[in-house]
Structure 1
Amino acid sequence: MDFRKRDNVSVDCVIFGLDSYGLNILLRNRKLNMFNDDFPVIDDWVIAGGPVIISKTLGETADLIFKSITGLNAFNRIQFHTYGNPSRLKSEKDLLWIRSQGLKRQTMTIAYYYTQPKESIVLKNSDFKWFPLKSLPDLGFDHKRIINDAHEDLKQKIMVDPVIFDLMPVKFTLNELQLAFESILEVELDNRNFRKKVLNKAYIVPLNQTKKGSAKKPSKLYVFSRDVYDKVTETDYIINI
């Protein structure tokens, strides 16, 4: 396999993970110390990414990066934006990092995001760590903007596409589904109204199973049926909030 890389085209991967506390982002620790007072010490966080492999497509390169971090072979990927502004890298730390890696300052980045249940990802590299979307650390490059753009695209997608079920466990309760919508959309939903709308969706299928929790009464479990969803009208909202 040809592993030569394009020195001015890269892919960045925003990896979303959802748990009971909300939406999370997987970040990599970026460190560099030149042990010279003339250069700043770099110790911040960035999203996963890297140069495009010449023998691979953009998506294949992104998938290789994702697999190397998670070990997963089945995943959900969405391309959402391209960043090519020649002045997108400005800070002293970013410019130092680029020079230290032998990369070009003007690089075009094609950005993707991955939607997975957080519990399904077992990290293979200790440099990576999950952070709640609401409390991100100091970020390098223009990655704060990329994460914000990914989040905005995800907000739009979950209203008209079944992307939210990629973030959910296969079996879920209605409360878990409501919390997922609330976490991503950053809104508070009326419980009774939400349940009524969900139960009208034929592709959200009840199971003869329950999940035990802190409540006295176990919660009924549901699954998302792709087969049923594919048969409904294209204009049907996932949940018309």
Structure 2
Amino acid sequence: MKPELILNISVDCVVFGYDLSTKSLNVLVIKRFLESETKKEVLVDDYVLTGYHVYTNETLDDTATRVLKELTGLTGQYKKQFKAFGDPDRLLNPKDLIWIKNAEFHERTTTIAYYFLLKTEEVDLKNNTSQAQWFPVDALPELGFDHKQIILEAYEDLKGKCLSEPIIFELLPEKFTINEVQDLYQSILGITIDNRNFRRKLINKKYIIALDEKQVGVSKKPAQLYMFSKEVYDKVFQKNYLISI
């Protein structure tokens, strides 16, 4: 027997991905398109976050995990539930009302928002049936519902979280350079970091492991590669992870 939907409770997922080549923190959104059946007039043409209603037999975490897997095929990614959005007017924009009527769900829906961290290259956009697309967090397209607000609040939460926990390594390859870590911090926080000071502080962390390897396939002098050790971090963890950047 197929589980029932809870029509006024949903989960929306902000999927953050970092692009090493462009040094850009991006958000994965899906195309929302609707045209009239008779005149073929375009009624809705924008983007939204991936999300869905909660099934009666699911926890909220279950729903978020399912939604991400259906969009990307990925499981086991870092996720955080960060806020509920329940403004009574959050779905009442005229364009959104058209979409709601067509989708047959409740106008007074409360959504529980999560964000996920992953690498942009992990998502196959060419074969994605939802027409998913990455956009820089500072250059978002036109978004439906209150999804711009949800993204911006997720981004603010991520900024604080990345200074207290080592979650940025979820956005980096397993092996990385110090410059790549610095670029990522700068992209998330929107600041310029002193290179020498940052390098010294980072390589002195016991959980940043220097490898006997260097970059390959680069035109300039290859840089030293490092790894983040979760095992070591858990042993030396103190309340404040902050690198003092």
Alignment of 1:40-55 (within 5 A): 41-55=43-57
Which residue of the partner structure matches residue 210 of structure 1?
Answer: 214
The alpha-carbon deviation at position 131 of structure 1 amounts to 1.0
Which residue of the partner structure matches residue 143 of structure 2?
Answer: 139
**2:79–2:116: 8 Å Cα contact kept in structure 1?**
yes
Which residue of the partner structure matches residue 76 of structure 2?
Answer: 74
Residue number among 187, 203, 227 corresponding to 1:183 in the alignment: 187
Which residue of the partner structure matches residue 116 of structure 2?
Answer: 114
Cα distance in 1, alignment partners of residues 148 and 142 from structure 2: 9
Q: Quote the RMSD (CA, aligned, Å).
A: 1.7
Residue number among 169, 173, 176 corresponding to 2:177 in the alignment: 173
Which residue of the partner structure matches residue 19 of structure 1?
Answer: 19
Q: Partner of 1:239: helix, strand, or coil?
A: coil
Write out per-residue CA displacement over residues 91-141 of structure 1, whole angstroms, 9 at most, x where no aligned residue. Answer: 110111111111111111000000011112224325111111121110000
Which residue of the partner structure matches residue 62 of structure 1?
Answer: 64
**1:88–1:142: 8 Å Cα contact kept in structure 2?**
yes
Give the TM-score taking structure 1 as reference length.
0.94
Cα distance in 2, alignment partners of residues 40 and 31 from structure 1: 8
Q: Counterpart of 2:136 in structure 1: which amino acid?
A: P
Runs of 4+ residues deviating >6 angstroms? none
Which residue of the partner structure matches residue 32 of structure 1?
Answer: 34
**1:206–1:221: 8 Å Cα contact kept in structure 2?**
yes
**1:2–1:55: 8 Å Cα contact kept in structure 2?**
no
Which residue of the partner structure matches residue 227 of structure 2?
Answer: 223
Q: 207-216 vs 152-161, which deviates more? A: 207-216
Query: Structure 1: which 5+ residue stretches go unaligned?
Result: none
Give the TM-score taking structure 2 as reference length.
0.93
**2:81–2:114: 8 Å Cα contact kept in structure 1?**
yes
Cα distance in 1, alignment partners of residues 217 and 193 from structure 2: 21
Residue number among 127, 134, 139 corresponding to 2:131 in the alignment: 127
Residue number among 159, 171, 181 corresponding to 1:155 in the alignment: 159
Which residue of the partner structure matches residue 102 of structure 1?
Answer: 104
Q: 115-124 vs 190-199, which deviates more? A: 115-124
Write out per-residue CA displacement over residues 137-160 of structure 1, whole angstroms, 9 at most, x where no aligned residue. Answer: 100000000000000000011001
